Amino acid sequence: MNKPINRMKHQLGDDLFQKLKELSPSDFNSFMLEVYRTRTDSQRPSDMLRSYASSRFSKPSELDPIAYHQLEANMLELARQQDIQPVLLSPVAPLGNCSSYGTVDQNKIVSASRSTEVLADSTNMMATIAADRIKRGIWNHNEGAHLCSTHRVIRAQHFNSADAFAHFGLYGMVSVGKAKGSYECEANLLGKQLRYYQALFYSRFRAKLSVVIEQRSGYTDGDGFLRRMAAVMESQLPEASFTIQEANLTNGYYQGINFKLFMTNQHGNTEIGDGGFVDWTQIMLGNRKERCLISGIGLDRLLMI
């Protein structure tokens, strides 16, 4: 527990946080709304202006908004042409949308009131949407179903890099399906997503797709799964370049494989995004046959190239 929390526990009593934790969601929301109301009642406009000046979360991006939105439109149109359904996401997600099944520290998320959080990762939100559609029986995903979105997401952790920002544009993609023999489902989902990126890189930037693959834990026959996915890439994307890195079996975020996406052209080899299989829909739906592939690329970085 960090120093500010320890200090507050000393000032307000050890049982305060336990009592707050035991409140029902509706009572906790009411409590937090009242706290926010009383704090803003005493806030002057000049206080708010000073807060803005020191906040890394609320500053606008310096990117050209017209170029940014044109890129979004082009990417989503290409996705629709390839039977990947674009969705327009809400600015907020359910509280715990990243931490409850995505192994992400909630302190890296901007938590909000009314049981929500500011959207930090569009792939988590689309996985939740996909799981909800599957659970309600309104989506047949036996042969694979695919969602994509563009969204400005926000992260709470502080980055030291000069080109890292609290909020940035993300094109995210989520593909779901039901497990079949010989990893057929995973092969179809992976081929679908990588074909999209190959088409995007060439049509928009006259660049080739390069992929670096890394084995992860999560599959009993990890080596066999890696070989099958590598074979899919080589057969379905003969013009792309593929490299297999040393396995990383200690990181539990991805299952089976993780891949990094590079755009290769006359300017060099630029890392643009990454992806891999996750167990999120398995966890949400309680069904080990569910398969989910996520990936994302940075819009801001694409515009800066």
Residue range 226-264, pLDDT digits in tens? 999 999 999 999 999 999 998 888 888 999 999 999 999
Nearest to 232 by CA among 196, 185, 274: 185
Rounded distance between C-alpha atoms, residue 224 and residue 200, angstroms: 30
pLDDT, one tens digit per residue, over 91-133 is 999 999 999 987 888 989 999 989 999 999 999 999 999 999 9
Contact 190, 209 (CB under 8 A): no
Query: Would the pLDDT of 278 be above 70?
Result: yes
Sign of CA dihedral 257, 279, 186, 238: negative
pLDDT at position 8 is: 81
Give me the domains of the chain, ranges plus CATH numbers: 3-42 (no CATH), 65-304 (3.30.930.10)
Mean pLDDT score of the chain, rounded to an integer?
Answer: 92
Rounded distance between C-alpha atoms, residue 190 and residue 229, angstroms: 8
Q: Where are the alpha helices (DSSP H) in 97-175?
A: 122-135
How much is the average pLDDT of 156-161? 73
Query: What is the pairing mode between strands 290-298 and 268-278?
Result: antiparallel
Query: What percent of the chain stands above pLDDT 70?
Result: 98
Q: Where are the alpha helices (DSSP H) in the chain?
A: 3-12, 16-22, 25-41, 45-54, 65-81, 122-135, 184-205, 222-236, 280-285, 299-304
